[in-house]
């Protein structure tokens, strides 16, 4: 059985004090729900404060990205060696970093390997553009992104990998994929590629989230799908009430 995982990607929202206050408010509200892993990914600046606020709770902290080198002359960057003192997860390959920050399949792969080498758990984001979707290229494109991201990753390390299927046209647009569409890509393309690379047992164990305009209103539609193991959430993760509802729905649909 795969333990569902709900991760909040706060993007460039919330100051340090706002992030810390949010974490303190969220922790007791999420405590009653079991069987669902929960993660918050604040800005780099707020990671320390949020990690301190959440110490002793069952909410994990993640980063929104990182460089692949341990250290060096890379102005503005943060390394896995630095992150591992504070976080458990790191989002790699988000479409916004691919679009605005020059992230490529090659840098995604370097970062995934670096994260795993440092004991960080990567949440690898993949997803097609609207044009690719309309041309019917989704399965091939997303499958290719998964292959590229995992090149050189061992079957043993796959235990620590989470994948997030995030169609670009669904991110922040209010227009989500249907549960069935997302389930088909996740099962028929992403999990199928992992099975081809690592065998069925590994593929059945890897957790694959859906992301893109996930809200309390549509959460049950995604969580009722057999191949969807949680969600990577932007906008709705910025409100305590919404975040609590997302975890509650995941616990109801998937929890044990
Ligand atoms: P959204 O963002 O939930 O605001 O669409 C999802 C994401 O970018 O991870």
- Condensed to tens digits (0 to 9), the pLDDT of residues 93-106 reads 999 999 999 999 99
Q: Which of 166, 211, 230 to mutate to test the pocket of ligand 1 (most atoms within 8 A of CB)?
A: 211
How far is the CA of 159 from the CAs of 174, 187, 240, in angstroms? 32, 18, 30
CA of 72 to the centre of ligand 1 (A): 31
Q: Tell me the best of 5, 65, 98, 212 to mutate to test the pocket of ligand 1, counting ligand atoms within 8 Å of each CB and taking the most.
A: 212
What DSSP letter does each residue of 56-125 carry, written as one string?
TSSEEEEES---SSSSSS-TT---HHHHTTT-SEEEES-HHHHHHS---HHHHHHHHHHHHHTT-EEEEE
Across the range 203-230, mean pLDDT stands at 97
| Average pLDDT over the chain, rounded to an integer | 97
Query: Is a pLDDT exceeding 70 seen at residue 256?
Result: no
Name residue 63's beta-bridge partners: 90
Q: Answer whether 127 contacts ligand 1 (Cβ < 6 A).
A: no
Mean pLDDT for the stretch of residues 227-255: 96
Give the pLDDT score at 175.
86
Catalytic annotation present for 166: yes
Question: Minimal CA–CA distance to 145: which of 108, 172, 97?
Answer: 108
The catalytically annotated residue of 20, 37, 67, 94 is 94
Query: Please, are residues 214 and 174 in contact by the beta-carbon 8 Å criterion?
Result: no
Cα 39 to ligand 1 centre (Å): 14
Compute the average pLDDT of residues 203-216.
Answer: 97
Q: What is the pTM of this model?
A: 0.98
Whether residue 234 has its Cβ less than 6 Å from ligand 1? yes
**CB of 62 sitting under 6 A from ligand 1:** no
pLDDT of residue 117: 98
Tell me the CA–centroid distance for residue 30 and ligand 1, in Å.
20
At residue 216, the pLDDT reads 98
Whether 235 is in the pocket of ligand 1, judged by its Cβ within 6 Å, is yes
Which residues partner with 164 through β-bridges?
Answer: 125, 209
What pLDDT, in 10s, does the model give residues 132-183?
999 999 999 999 999 999 999 999 999 999 999 999 999 988 888 899 999 9
Ligand 1 close to Cβ of residue 212 (< 6 A): yes
Encode pLDDT of 20-69 as tens digits.
999 999 999 999 999 999 999 999 999 999 999 999 999 999 999 999 99
Ligand 1 close to Cβ of residue 166 (< 6 A): yes
Q: List the residue whose alpha carbon is closest to atom 1 of ligand 1.
A: 234
Percent of the chain topping pLDDT 90: 96
pLDDT at 1 over 90: no
Rounded Cα distance, 126 and 149, in Å:
9
pLDDT of residue 177: 87
Q: Which residue has the tokens 């997303």?
A: 142
Query: Which of 7, 89, 166 is the pocket-test mutation for ligand 1 (most atoms within 8 Å of CB)?
Result: 166
Burial state string for 81-105 with b = 16 or more CB within 10 A and e = fewer than 16 = ebbbeebbbbbbbbbbbbeeeebeb
Rounded Cα–Cα distance for residues 156 and 133 (Å): 33
Name all domains of the chain by residue range, CATH numbers in brackets: 5-253 (3.20.20.70)
Verify whether ligand 1 is closer than 6 Å to residue 213 (CB atom).
yes
Percent residues over pLDDT 70 in the chain:
99
Q: Is the pLDDT of residue 5 over 80?
A: yes
């Amino acid at each position: 059985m795969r333990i569902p995982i709900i991760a909040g990607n706060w993007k460039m929202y919330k100051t340090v004090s706002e992030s810390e206050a949010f974490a303190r408010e969220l922790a007791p509200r999420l405590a009653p729900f079991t069987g669902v892993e929960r993660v918050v990914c604040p800005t780099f600046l707020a990671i320390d404060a949020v990690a301190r606020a959440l110490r002793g709770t069952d909410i994990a902290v993640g980063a929104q990205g990182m460089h692949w080198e341990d250290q060096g002359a890379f102005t503005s960057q943060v390394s896995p060696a630095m992150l591992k003192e504070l976080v458990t997860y790191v989002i790699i390959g988000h479409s916004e970093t691919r679009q605005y920050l020059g992230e490529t399949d090659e840098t995604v792969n370097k970062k995934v390997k670096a994260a795993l080498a440092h004991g960080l758990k990567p949440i690898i984001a993949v997803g097609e553009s609207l044009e690719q979707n309309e041309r019917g290229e989704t399965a091939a494109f997303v499958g290719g992104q998964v292959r590229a991201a995992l090149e050189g990753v061992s079957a043993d390390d796959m235990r620590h990998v989470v994948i997030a299927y995030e169609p670009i046209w669904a991110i922040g647009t209010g227009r989500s994929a249907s549960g069935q569409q997302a389930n088909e890509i996740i099962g028929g393309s992403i999990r199928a590629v992992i099975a081809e690379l690592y065998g069925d047992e590994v593929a059945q164990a890897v957790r694959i989230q859906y992301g893109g305009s996930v809200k309390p209103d549509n959460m049950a539609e995604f969580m009722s799908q057999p191949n969807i193991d949680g969600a990577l959430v932007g906008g709705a993760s910025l409100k305590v009430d919404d975040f609590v509802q997302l975890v509650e729905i995941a616990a109801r649909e998937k929890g044990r």
